[in-house]
Amino acid sequence: MLSNENYSIQKIMPKVLENLEQYQEATPKEHEVVQSILESEPMDLSGLAELKYSRRPNLIQSYRESGQNPFVITDRNLAFVGVVSQMQAFVKGVLQTIYYTSDLRFAKESGVRAKMHFRNLYSEILKSLPSLCFTSVLDQNEKALAALTSKKKGIFYHPVHSYQIRSLLILPTLKWFKQKRRNFQFIEGHPAAPDYLLKKFSDARFAHKVDLSQRYWGIARNGQMVGLFSIHQPEFRSIQVRSKSRFISLWMRAARWAFRKDYSEKIPWKYLTHFYLDDFYDKGPVLREILQFAYAHNILEAGDLFLVCHNKDDKVDLNGVFCPQFLTSGTLYEVNQSETPSIEKGRYYLNPLYL
């Protein structure tokens, strides 16, 4: 078995870069340039608006609050950024160190040669990692999808899980939603949570680690724990909206007036970071009760954007909650140098804050 030091990304990456003179670890002084490159590719929302994702005010802390220990790579010309992070997850029921690559960006002035050199870098990274490596890509990111499916010598991307992120704009009308009766109880810090999660982890192909030192609620039915959820608001990152249509501009002005929140500066968004539920129950009705509970207890507020992640093939019916919904799909890939994946498709529990 390898020691913890052998798994350390801070030990592995400097050795990789020793023989690749054009690359280096980004220094704190270079983080401003890194931030600018990361913000240079906004995500288009059906031609109506653009979302600019930012890791301000603190680049490194934005990864750490996602359970990641990051190593930020750039080149000598500061025209490229890539991040390799070390984190922990349950794989086939066993808690282990894994690696996650993210935020691959090229400055607009970078040429074809920079992208060709990156392939060599990525290949060397994969050779050096002592455990599984993953990445995730949103389905609408066509450039990244094309890159993943193209033939690259020595680099293989294996789709292992498809997910959907459901973003709900929380409105005061949520209090109008009334269930005939509440079917579940939400118990903060449920004492049965550790044993419940261990059983879920043992049945899963992959599950992000759950930090029970943070706030969470057990989902109970007839005195038995049947699920668990947690809600978290990130501190060290932000999303800004740039309108491309009159309708969105009017909506943003109305939201600023109604909620006293400026979406062009920072979207006040919160994550359903963990969501476990026994197979017997449908997620839709439980999520409806969670929404009502969280709003009534000021965990969610009017104007918040609430992100929920679930399996892409889940049928989640949230009709009747009177909240606009935006759907985004993505895929988790295992990245290796083999034509076959090390991990099979199956039951996955993803924390969207960790993607």
Quickly list DSSP for 121-158: HHHHHHHH-SS-EEEEEETT-HHHHHHHHS-BTTBEEE
The pLDDT confidence band at residue 309, using thresholds 50, 70 and 90, is very high
Tokens of 309: 């992640």
- Are both 187 and 87 inside the same structural domain? no
* Total count of domains within the chain: 2
Same domain (yes/no): 155, 177: no
- The CA angle 199-201-203, to the nearest 5 degrees, is 75
Do 208 and 300 have their domain in common? yes
Does 240 map to a domain?
no
Q: Are the C-beta atoms of residues 20 and 121 closer than 8 Å to each other?
A: yes
Q: Percent of the chain beyond pLDDT 90? A: 60
What's residue 141's pLDDT? 76
Given 160, 188, 212, which residue is the final one in a domain? 160
> What's the domain range around 194?
166-233+268-329
> Regarding predicted confidence, which is higher, 319 or 9?
9
Q: Assess if residue 199 is contained within a domain.
A: yes
pLDDT at 246: 82
pLDDT at 225 over 90: yes
pTM: 0.92
First to last CA, the chain: 27
Say if 252 falls within a structural domain.
Answer: no
Domain shared by 151 and 291, yes or no: no
* 9 and 60 belong to one structural domain: yes
The residue from 160, 180, 214 where one domain ends is 160
171 in the same domain as 155: no
156, 115: one domain: yes
User: Which range (122-131, 252-261, 273-282) has the least confidence?
Assistant: 252-261
Residue 151 has pLDDT above 70, yes or no: no
Q: Which pLDDT tens digit goes with each residue over 46-82?
A: 667 777 888 988 999 999 999 999 999 999 988 889 9
Under DSSP, the state recorded for 342 is S
* Amino acid type, 266: K
- Domain end point (choices 160, 183, 204): 160
- More reliable by pLDDT, 190 or 40: 190
What tokens were used for 346? 């199956």
Q: State whether 45 and 97 are in the same domain.
A: yes
* Mean pLDDT along residues 168-191: 83
pLDDT at residue 3 is higher than 60:
no
Whether the per-residue pLDDT at 335 is higher than 90: the answer is yes
Same domain for 309 and 192?
A: yes
Let me know if residue 344 belongs to a domain: no
> Is the model's pLDDT at 1 over the cut of 60?
no
Shared domain for 88 and 219, answered yes or no, is no
Sorting pLDDT into bands at 50, 70 and 90, what band is 35?
Answer: very high
For residue 246, being part of any structural domain is answered with: no
353 has a pLDDT exceeding 90: yes
Judgement on whether residues 32 and 175 belong to the same structural domain of the protein:
no
* Residue 176 vs residues 99, 287, 323, 326: alpha-carbon distances, Å: 44, 16, 11, 21
Band (261; pLDDT cuts 50, 70, 90):
confident
Beta bridge partners, 269, equal 305
CATH code of the domain covering residue 174: 3.40.630
| 297 domain residue, yes or no | yes
Does one domain contain both 287 and 311? Answer: yes
User: Average pLDDT of the chain?
Assistant: 89
pLDDT of residue 179: 61
Q: What is the pLDDT at residue 181?
A: 59
The count of C-alpha atoms lying within 13 angstroms of the C-alpha of 54, restricted to the half-sphere facing its C-beta, is 18
Question: What are the tokens at 163?
Answer: 């997910």
Q: Is residue 241 assigned to a domain?
A: no
Q: Assign residue 133 the CATH number of its domain.
A: 3.40.630.30
Q: Which residue has the higher pLDDT, 86 or 248?
A: 86
